[in-house]
Amino acid sequence: MSLCRADKFLLASAAVTAGSAAVFGPGALSVGVPFGVHALLMADGIFRPDSAILYPTLVRGRTDQPQVALTFDDGPDPEITPAVLDMLAQHDARATFFVIGRNLEKHRALGEHIHREGHELGNHSWQHSYLLNFSSAAGHGVEMDRCSQLIKSVTQSDREPLYRPPVGLKSPAMARAAHQRNLNVVAWSIHSRDTFARDPRAVANGVVRRIRPGDIVLMHDGHDRDNQHRPLILEALPLLLQGLRERGLKSVTVSELSSETQSAKPAPNGATLAADDARS
């Protein structure tokens, strides 16, 4: 089995530290400097969502077309998601919904509705646990597989869904699990800050002001906590979609945005899906 990027990084760091100690002696500088650099790079790989140090991570898509990808995390939520779908339909926009498995299990019909509308269902783990990054590769694998199997059942497809780790955190264990499954990991180039803001107009304007072709935008139609909701998106999304239209930008799925070809084929439900799978 080939090594994942995280293990290659760990081996390279160990080799550099050992080599420095061998050449300069086991002193504080010869060992401490390489170890310090390793620690900084490791922290970057874990905590910066768009870092590719530990695993190849898709942050932006193709820039040669006036297209962007709107993504929604933590759903589906029966109080929020249906209205989001209506707004997207009104603007002829497609999006990618990174669903929490346990939410999809409770609201499977809503997941089927998302798929019928031509949107993409992505894997956002089963529990969305903030402690998942402390888990083993096997633990990550259970979370990935359980959500993936449910998405495949909903979409009636064998295609492996795109994966977005909870909070965008990565770890060597996550990298090993993703590598074993050949997952495409997706982050974002623009965070809408819709989970922190209180002004929907500021959220929409903040995205529209920064957005460029190829950008992947993070938003939320659901919540990782039971019986809680994120309604701000219902006011921000119409403004954002209108802003995209005024700038001549169209929202497509992440797989469409990252596809190597713009040729498309009709899906059974009448939507268009990219001919090739997205590869990170």
Residues with a known catalytic role: 73, 220
Cα–Cα distance, 170 to 189 (Å, whole number)? 16
CB 146 within 8 A of CB 112: no
CB 4 within 8 A of CB 179: yes
Return the structure tokens found at 25. Answer: 């002696």
**Torsion angle of C-alpha atoms 9, 124, 219, 158, degrees rounded to 10:** 100
Cα–Cα distance, 256 to 261 (Å, whole number)? 9
Buried b / exposed e across 104-130, counting CB within 10 Å, b at 16+?
Answer: beebeebbbbbbebbbbbbbbbbbbee
**Beta strands of 178-245 (E only): which ranges?**
185-186, 190-191, 216-220
